[in-house]
Amino acid sequence: MSDLKANNEVLRSKIIDLDNKHIRLVRVGSTDQTKDIQLDTNFGGYGRIKSFKGEAKDNWPVNIIQLKEVCKNLSMPYSNKLKAQIFQLVGCDLRCWYCFVPNDSLKPNEDISDWVSAEEMIDAFVNQSETNQLIDLSGGNPALVPEWVLWMIRELRKRNIEDKVILWSEDNLSSDMFFEKLSKEEIQEIVTNKNYARLCCLKGYNEESFAFNTGLNKEGFKFQFERLKKLYDTGMIIYPYVTMTTPNLGNLKNDVKTFVDKLQDIDEKLPLRTILVQIKEYEITKERIEASSRKSLEEQSLINQLEVAKVFMDELTDRYSKDEIAENILVPTYESGEL
């Protein structure tokens, strides 16, 4: 993991300009990502609109806690569909096989990116008509540039709209830069903002799935939880995400049990806040799978994630009441113990 940290420092130096307070954003509209988001780009291709939906699915549990808390914080009636303005950082330190972002956008590629300030991003946000409630700082890995969140919060405050806008940022839990690059005062400025939340993605439910999904050593799995706990203990709003893709379902029930134990070690109710990410075959993902030497394993992983999700929900049923689960999770109906 020391090599990853060193590489992250190099990558970070190419995607943040501290002197001018600029972030290098992907011009999404000029990449192959448009195969999946053809009609949703804005801000000259540097932004896009994404819909977050809280709708029941036939075979996948849907956690609606994010939607409920956004609506509550903005003092608006609950809606099962919210649109978010997405700004996408170029560059990521991981190479997850299922990622929907093209490989060229996972590098600090100057041909498809540019330096953009928080002021310019907020200008674009307030001037577009699709949404005026939610901003999601995506990537890439925004956790490599924690100043981005701080600059966005300050720009929202400067315009007196800090209380009217929800700000999210994504984190793949591969870095400690939030604590290494920000001062204690800056950290407090972020974590005390009631409209800021962090979307923290766990790349698997056990060591094997983590290593398969990321290509990193198995030990990285435990580091994810250490970082998640450290972030959670600041008091900021956290939404854990988890990808359930795995080629091997061996020891599934025990591994999922251990996974939920680890979440509860952080907070007893944290599993109820955990969003299961269903990996879909976006065009970029399909192309990556077709070219992969692990094609059959990756295809099987897409199938296996459904069974892992079911076992996860079984585990929640053993630990929480039906009312506790139903409060935030739309649970599919499984017949005869099958999906």
CA angle 67, 332, 99 (to 5 degrees): 65
Q: What 8-state DSSP symbol labels residue 46?
A: T
Domain assignment present for 70: yes
Could you list the residue range(s) of the whole structural domain that residue 56 is in? 2-330
Per-residue DSSP letter, 167 = E
User: Are 39 and 251 contacting, i.e. CB atoms less than 8 angstroms apart?
Assistant: no
Q: Are the C-beta atoms of 1 and 220 separated by less than 8 Å?
A: yes
Look up residue 56 and give its DSSP letter.
Answer: -
Parallel, antiparallel, or unpaired for β 134-138 and 166-171?
parallel
pLDDT digits (tens, 9 = 90+) for 278-325: 999 989 999 999 999 999 999 999 999 999 999 999 999 999 999 999
- DSSP secondary structure letter of residue 33: G
pLDDT at 37 over 80: no
Task: List the single range of 11-15, 37-41, 135-139 with lowest mean pLDDT.
Answer: 37-41
Which strand (E) or helix (H) includes residue 285? Answer: helix 283-290
Cα separation of the two ends of the chain: 37
Instruction: Note whether residue 154 is domain-resident.
Output: yes
- Residue 16 confidence class, pLDDT cut points 50, 70, 90: very high
Q: What is the CATH number of the domain that holds 223?
A: 3.20.20.70
Contact yes or no for 144/12 (Cβ under 8 A): yes
Residue 255 lies in a domain: yes
Paired with 201 in beta bridges are: 241
Q: What is the DSSP letter of 109?
A: -
Residue type, 257: K
For tokens 């929202």, name the residue. 156
Domain assignment present for residue 336? The answer is: no
Q: Establish if 337 belongs to a structural domain.
A: no
Measured in degrees and rounded to the nearest 5, phi and psi for residue 223 equal -65, -30
How many Å apart are CA 97 and CA 301, to the nearest integer?
Answer: 11
Q: Using one digit for the tens of pLDDT, what is the confidence trace for 42-75? A: 999 999 999 899 988 878 999 999 999 999 999 9
Residue 335 within any structural domain of the chain = no
- Give the pLDDT mean for 232-260: 98
Mean residue pLDDT of the chain comes to 94
pLDDT band at residue 131, thresholds of 50, 70 and 90? low
Percentage of the chain lying above the pLDDT 70 cut: 96
Residue with tokens 């709209």: 161
8 A C-beta contact, residue 34 and residue 41:
yes
Q: Is residue 185 part of a domain?
A: yes
Query: In this predicted structure, what is the pLDDT of residue 39?
Result: 60
- The sheet carrying 113-117 orders its strands as 16-17, 22-26, 113-117
Q: How many domains does the chain have?
A: 1
240 within some domain: yes
Q: Is 26 exposed, middle or buried (0-12, 13-18, 19+ CB in 10 A)?
A: buried
DSSP letter string over 211-265?
HHHH-S-TTHHHHHHHHHHHHHTTT-EEEEEEE---S--TTHHHHHHHHHHHHHH
- Cβ burial of 18 (10 Å; 0-12, 13-18, 19+) is exposed
Strands, E assignment, the chain: 16-17, 22-26, 41-42, 47-53, 62-63, 81-88, 113-117, 134-138, 166-171, 196-202, 237-243, 275-277, 329-330
